[in-house]
Structures are given as structure tokens and as C-alpha cells.
Amino acid sequence: MLDLKYVCENIEEVEKRLSARGGGLSLAPLIGMNRQRKEVITLHDNLRHEQRNLSSIFKEKGADKAELENLRGRLKAISEEIAELAERQREIEKNIEDFLLYVPNIPHQTVPPGASSEDNMELRKIGEPPDFSFKPLEHFEIGERLGILDFETAGKISGSRFVLYKGDGARLERALTNFMLDIHTELHGYTEVLPPFLVNENSMIGTGQLPKFAEEAFKTDGFYLIPTAEVPVTNMFRDVIFEAEELPRKFCAYSACFRREAGSHGKDVRGMTRVHQFQKVELVKFVRPENSYDEHESLAMDAEEVLKRLNLHYRVVSLCTGDLGFSAARCYDIEVWLPGQNTYREISSCSNFEDFQARRINARFRPARGEKPRYVHTLNGSGLAIGRTIIAILENYQLPDGGVEIPNALRPYMGNKSVIEPVV
């Protein structure tokens, strides 16, 4: 959520920077509501001043009986007016909050301008794509031939956009989970947590999923199935004040993730590139504002380390203003090369939200003893999306006979197995 005071004092700049996202959002209603709020507050304060003055006169009892009755009547009327104004102020502030909940974050000055993903800026490429002596297959073809991915049975159990892992497929998923958690806890110093996979409405509002993206969420009995572990982990510190020396705080979490994929009809209908349930290891940081962009760079490097150890070719792009996520001030996408699809695919998004989420969850820190608390900056990134990492391994490590070589870094997690052999 944006800072109301900052928006109102810098309305032209804010509208200009938000317009770079596309959509032509007008903040005029917000300015009008804030003006009404100030007028109500002024009336309220004037009445409170009059109430105090009349109360002191009434207490002195220097007036005659008729005057005291008039004072009593006026004080009663003032009390009623004050109560009405207080209720009006609450209504206006609720309307302001509801409006702000639909306003996206302001893009950072370093975000490249652009209208769509085609305008994203490539920052770096790491490694080289594999050179095959045969036409590489896509992951679903490989997985089905190996008997480790079963889309037909998953469809019978649940419907479209689900996958059933079997045998070495399930073991590979588990291996990647442990591999990623070990890297981030042992090498990068993140604290591992295992959060609930169901959260309340306030938690979804806190990280920006609601109300804007309600159509993307699965809801049941008043709970929401999490679209990412970012939601519960970030909300661990709702209404918390950190001491300055506690920051940065870094957490990693494995979770299942659930998304409706609304609006993706016809996209990636085969395989598991875009499914309703998938697993991820998520990285979340709480940092001081002055350090947040350095922390953003290191967050991306932490996620990249997984791909480097798996020896997978990838690139990092900075999302342009038109492709930037709702809550992000800046976002880097890490895109892995998929030879079966002959393209790069996002495998991690690393975002700096600045204080956008912190204002929603009221997460602050005290810069020094006795100083007024300030909002922290929050960051998050996939470290990595496990299903898409499996896609990358199957397509990049496929063998001419239909088998798949297991990356060296994963073999200790796979019982030292080196190859997933084709079914005879």
C-alpha cells in the first residue's frame, strides 16, 4: 500500500510513474477523499475545542440555572456531532484504504520502461545451452516415456492442470526440495520455516494478493490456499516492530502452492509449466530501507546459485514497467533455458516491494533507541520453483536412449543414482 501523505504531496509524479505500468489509473478520487477527511478532522477538532471550553464554564457553575440548562443542551448536541463526525471520518478512511488496496506499487527509477515482456531488459546470461545430436523432446514427453510423470491419472483424480509424480519423479521432487533448502540454510544463512498452507483473508491482503487478484485464489471455508509461501512467511511479522540490529531477517520455506491460473486458458495446456498445484522453496527478507536494493541483488544471486550448481543455462532479466507485478517496485526474473521448447522460461521472480507490503501488515523497525519506528522493506523470490526445475532437468539432461542423466549435485539426494533409465 502506498503512503497516502506521499501520494497527495507528489500527485503528478506518482501518477506519471504509475502510468508507466499502463492502465491509466487516476488518483483524483483519492485526493478528493483526503480533502474530505481533512475537513471532517478540522470540524471535529473545532467542536472538541468548543466542548472543552463549555465544559470548564459548566464546571465553574457561575451561570444561572437557565444558562446551565443551555450549556447542558449545547454540550449534548456537540457530543452527538462529534460522534457523527468520528463515524464519518472512519467511513472516509475506510474508503481511502479500499481505494489504495487497488493501487499498485510505484516502479523504482531503475525499472526499464516498456509495455510487455518483450521490453524486459536482459542483465546477464550464465552458462551455455546443451548441444544435442538429436531433436530434444519436451518434458511431458520425456516424463511420460520414463513413467515418472502421469498427467492422465492426475486428470482422473483432480482434472486438468495437475500432475502425478511417480517413482523417480517423486524422488526427484523430494531431492530438489532438500537440495534447495540445504543451500539456502547452510550456504546463505536463511532460517527454514514450514508455514501453514491455508491462510486468512488479512494475510492475503497483507502481501497484495487481495483484493486485486481474488480470481486467482482458491478459497475454502473462510481460508485461502496459499499461492506462494511468501504469504504466510511475510505475515509472520504482521504488527511487529524489529530492533534495528535484528535486520536483515532471512527465511526460506518449502510449500505447496495453489493458483487458479485464471486468464491462462489455452496457454501451456500440455505438461506442468502452468498447473493449479506446484511446489516451491521460497525466500523472504525483511531489511532496512537503505539496504533493500543491495539485498535485492543478493537475493537474486542466492536463487541463481541453485541453477549454477545444477549446471543449467539461464538468464536474468529486469522486468519493464508494463510487466512488473502489482506489489513490486522492482523485479528480476530468472529464466532457465528449455531446449525441448527452444525458449527461456521463468523459474524465479525476485522482487523488492519496498514498504508496500510492510504498510499493509504494519511491519516496522526502530532505527535507534527512542526513535519513531519506520516501515521495513520486504523482498521475496523463488529459490526455486521445483516443478519448473524438474522441467529444466528433464529437457537439459535428456539422453539419446530416452533416459535422463541426474545432475551431479543431486546424486547424493537420489541414492547416488546417476541416470533415470527408460522403461524397457
Span 253-280, pLDDT tens digits: 999 999 998 666 667 778 999 999 999 9
pLDDT band at 62 (very low <50, low <70, confident <90, very high): low
How many Cβ atoms from other residues are within 10 Å of residue 84's Cβ?
14
Determine how β-strand 241-243 pairs with β-strand 364-366: parallel
pLDDT in tens, 109-137: 999 999 999 999 999 999 999 999 999 99
The pLDDT assigned to 191 comes to: 98
Work out the average pLDDT over 45-57.
Answer: 89
Instruction: Please give the Cα distance from 252 to 192 (Å, whole number).
Output: 5
Fold designation for 4-100: Helix Hairpins (1.10.287)
The pLDDT assigned to 43 comes to: 96
Please indicate, yes or no, whether the overall pTM of this predicted structure exceeds 0.85.
yes
Give me the architecture of the 117-420 domain, per CATH: 2-Layer Sandwich (3.30)
Start and end residues for every CATH 1.10.287.40 domain found in the chain: 4-100
* Amino acid occupying residue 316: V
Number of residues that this document lists for the chain: 424
Start and end residues for every CATH 3.30.930.10 domain found in the chain: 117-420
Yes or no: say if 98 and 91 are a contact pair by the CB < 8 Å rule. Answer: no
The pLDDT assigned to 25 comes to: 86
Non-local (6+) Cβ contacts of 81 within 8 A are: 47
Q: Which residues are catalytic?
A: 259, 274, 346, 349, 388
The pLDDT assigned to 244 comes to: 95
